[in-house]
Copies of this chain bind each other. A is one copy, B any other.
Amino acid sequence: MIQTPAHVSTSQFLESAKSLAATAKSLHARGWMLGTSGNLSAVVHPEPLLIAMTPSGVDKGELSAEQILLVDEHAQVVFGPKAKPSDETLLHLEIVKLRQAGAVLHTHSVWNTILSDRFADQRGLIIEGYEMLKGLAGVKTHEHREWLPIVDNSQDMTALSAYIRAILTEQPHVHGILINKHGLYSWGKDPREAKRHIEILEFLLETVGRTMEIKR
């Protein structure tokens, strides 16, 4: 695969790939993508759908743009180095399609892991009253009440896609989804907005978690 498909220029793809690599380095530095955890994608072409996707099993602190893959709507690699895309590519594609997202980010932070576990039996948690919520697209006031749903974890990616599809269909206003003892998915109209959403949700989860310790 030495050429991008006709409807996508190589430079277009490389721009997305560079942006994902820079975001990966920043999120790894914060400890939100340790080991080889976490994955990132960005839409390169909407119709037919093509996304830039991180490969499976790479250290996000060392990821270079040259390692990013171009993947079609069936999760097949159409351009890039010989490598397997992340196992969770199906989840990224589901979110892109259902939310018209331009980018999807998935982090494994200590606080998102802890709270996904702590609130699992309530199927999610409410975050409300924080000014930071205004950084989420469409939220105009801190008086907003954000529901962050939690789905069960599964190694069956078709099953996990189905859970996520159900959440996004029934709860179209959410800005992120927690997977129990696994991590956080968020997205945005472009990589910049997706990164903003991840930083805000991670900040709010740490704030909620530490408030539980202080107020107890």
Contact = CB atoms under 8 A, between A and B. Distances in A.
A192 interface: yes
**How often does this chain occur in the complex, in copies?**
4
A111 to B, nearest CB: 8
Contact of A59 (B132, B141, B195): B195
Given A203-B34, A207-B110, A181 B142 contact: yes
Contacts of A97: none
Contacts of A110: 203, 206-207, 210
A7 interface: no
A153 interface: yes
A200 B110 CA distance: 11
A195 B36 CA distance: 10
Interface residues of A, number: 49
Contacts of A113: 130, 132, 207
A175 to B, nearest CB: 12
A129 B85 CA distance: 24
Given A131-B179, A213-B214, 20 more contacts: A31-B203, A34-B132, A34-B202, A35-B132, A35-B135, A35-B196, A37-B131, A37-B132, A59-B196, A108-B132, A110-B203, A111-B210, A113-B130, A114-B207, A114-B214, A118-B211, A131-B182, A140-B155, A209-B214, A212-B214
Interface of A: 26, 30-31, 34-37, 59, 61, 108, 110-111, 113-114, 117-118, 129-132, 135, 140-143, 153, 155, 179, 181-183, 192, 195-197, 199-200, 202-203, 206-207, 209-216
